[in-house]
Structure 1
Amino acid sequence: MSSERPVTVVDQGEVLGGLFASWDAIAALLANASEEQWRTPTALPGWDVHDVVAHIVGTESMLSGIATPEPDIDLGELEHVRNPIGAMNELWVRSLRGESGAELLQRFGDVTGRRRAALAAMSTEEWNAPTLTPAGPDSYGRFMRIRVFDCWMHEQDIRDALGRPPADSELTGPDSRLSLDEMAASMPFVVGKKGKAPDGSRVLIALTGPLAREIRVAVDGRAALVEDFGGAEPTVAITLDGLQFTRRAGGRPPMAGRSDAVDYQGDAVVAAHIVENLAYVI
């Protein structure tokens, strides 16, 4: 396919390292889970831990060329299915609900094993080729960075459901860093479109804790990520824990055991409106 806009070029080895680390973390987290734990509800409407893993299995199966299951009900009747992507996800979730946790974990290992081999064998040209992604037309590599983000977020959903929040040391790997890279790429949309920051705004989002970083968005006709503000001070500064930032941006409740406090500096009205509209994930 062709794309009118330039594609995002990301390092193949780096992204695959993050994706494989995320799959490994999920497998380790659930290795000894009881059937009751597999059926624990998560913060995602309508889904328990089993459903979250089934969703990941379904996506990787689809990317392996396996046909999507046929619907067994009218998905429009389900309140938590709000768009075509959600409907496709639900088809896989429903088709795998009859499997035990152990069976699903085996399936997870099988499909991610096949995906590891296929992704590692991709040429640079294939990796950088434009394709359709959940963020619109972009490179296949960007698509896989989105997969890191999706799998990492779901690992945190599982941890939240099971009462096993991550230790600081579990938030320092490539999967965490790449997930934040992906989220940072969406902050111009959050700040400019959803947060409606006025022209001339210089917004600093300062993350603390093991996911510490600074995300800068300048609004000059349109919002864009910038390395710095050219020596100018931010008009808005928002400071919060990095993990809680990911929870807010993902439309999830706070993770237990970490402060969810948010500090505003500068234009408090604009800052509050941005924070109120941080959730952007479909």
Structure 2
Amino acid sequence: MTIFGPVIDVRPLFPRERQAMLDLLRALGPADWAQPTICPGWDVHDVAGHVLNDYLRRLSGSRDGYGGAVFADDETLPAYLARTNDEFVRAGRQLSPQVLIDLLEHLGPQLDALWAARDLRTPADLNVSWAATDRDSPAWLDIAREYTEFWVHQQQIRDAVSLPGATQPELMAPVLDVFARALPHTLRTCERPDGTVARLEVLGPAGGQWNVARQDGRWRMATPGSGPAASVSMDQDTFWRLSTRGITVEEARARSNPSGDPELTAAMTTLLAVVA
């Protein structure tokens, strides 16, 4: 068993997700761009600008080795990200929707080329803190995290303008799979004997089942084995929204079915797969 589980290679999916995003943005009217989103203080234009910031930051840092903005004194990672993201979004409000679309379309293939050149098993450029804080993340998890970021922001825009889409299993299933890799870190404070298994089941066309097991004093992603000491099932919409705090833990618990060890099931429904 490994902490992070088997490799997920999402690289072929970036162009497809981006095309869905570009088609969505091109279909928006002027009023749609001003619709508020679940991101506090951000409208649709702001979320699209934030995605552009993600593109620029990863190309500048991972491809060009440029350090960019620096941490302020005693600034935590969440505070740093909140500050720098907001700074870019505010500046980006001077960009027209068409300029945003043009830049995303132009820079996206450059990101694809960057990911394609990476050895997935080498250390990540940016560690995935919600999967582990005490060891380096592999490159495949870092890249997969970026895919989830883009997909989630697309869904936030779709929610804001009441347009469904991009939930085809081939696009959504990898997002859920990546988010499930937060399970070992989510259960890190739950001490249990080695061999204890907890199981998450996500229902729906893009769903699946994930197991974590206690081994050598820590939780690890595991293949299906003996009956779990705890299990939680929820539908795919509930799971991705819980993982990104699009809904509260309490809302997710009301929409879930737990069984077994109550401490483990309670911990599993606090899963978080974003930096917060």
TM-score (norm 2): 0.79
Whole-Å Cα distance in 2 between the matches of residues 37 and 134 of structure 1?
Answer: 35
In the other structure, the counterpart of 1:233 is 227
In the other structure, the counterpart of 2:214 is 219
Whole-Å Cα distance in 2 between the matches of residues 56 and 218 of structure 1?
Answer: 35
Contact 2:182 2:272 in 1 (8 A): no
Aligned-residue offset at 1:7: 9.8
Change in 2 beyond 3 A, CA 1:118/1:262: closer
User: Once the two structures are aligned, what percentage of the paired residues are identical?
Assistant: 21
Change in 2 beyond 3 A, CA 1:281/1:234: same
Q: Aligned-residue CA RMSD in angstroms? A: 3.2
How many residue pairs are counted as aligned between the two chains? 254
Equivalent position SS for 2:198: strand
Gaps of 5+ in 1: 255-259
| 1:40 counterpart = 2:35 | yes
1:71-150 aligned within 5 A: 82-120=78-116, 122=117, 125=119, 128-135=121-128, 137-150=136-149
Contact 2:176 2:207 in 1 (8 A): no
1:1-282 aligned within 5 A: 10=7, 14-65=9-60, 82-120=78-116, 122=117, 125=119, 128-135=121-128, 137-166=136-165, 170-173=167-170, 175-193=171-189, 196=190, 198-199=192-193, 201-220=196-215, 221-229=217-225, 232-253=226-247, 261-275=255-269, 277-282=270-275
Equivalent position SS for 1:206: strand
Contact 1:38 1:48 in 2 (8 A): yes
Aligned-residue offset at 1:31: 1.5
Aligned-residue offset at 1:139: 3.9
Equivalent position SS for 1:85: helix
Change in 2 beyond 3 A, CA 1:265/1:197: farther
Aligned-residue offset at 1:143: 2.1
Deviation string, structure 1 residues 44-89 (Cα, Å, up to 9, x no partner): 2222221211111112112222879889xxx99xxxx952122222
Equivalent position SS for 1:210: coil
Whole-Å Cα distance in 2 between the matches of residues 274 and 70 of structure 1?
Answer: 35
Gaps of 5+ in 2: 130-135, 249-253
Change in 2 beyond 3 A, CA 1:138/1:202: closer
Contact 1:54 1:93 in 2 (8 A): yes
Change in 2 beyond 3 A, CA 1:204/1:7: closer
Aligned-residue offset at 1:8: 8.7
Aligned-residue offset at 1:128: 4.4
Change in 2 beyond 3 A, CA 1:134/1:159: farther
TM-score (norm 1): 0.77
In the other structure, the counterpart of 2:133 is none
Change in 2 beyond 3 A, CA 1:10/1:228: closer
Equivalent position SS for 2:15: helix
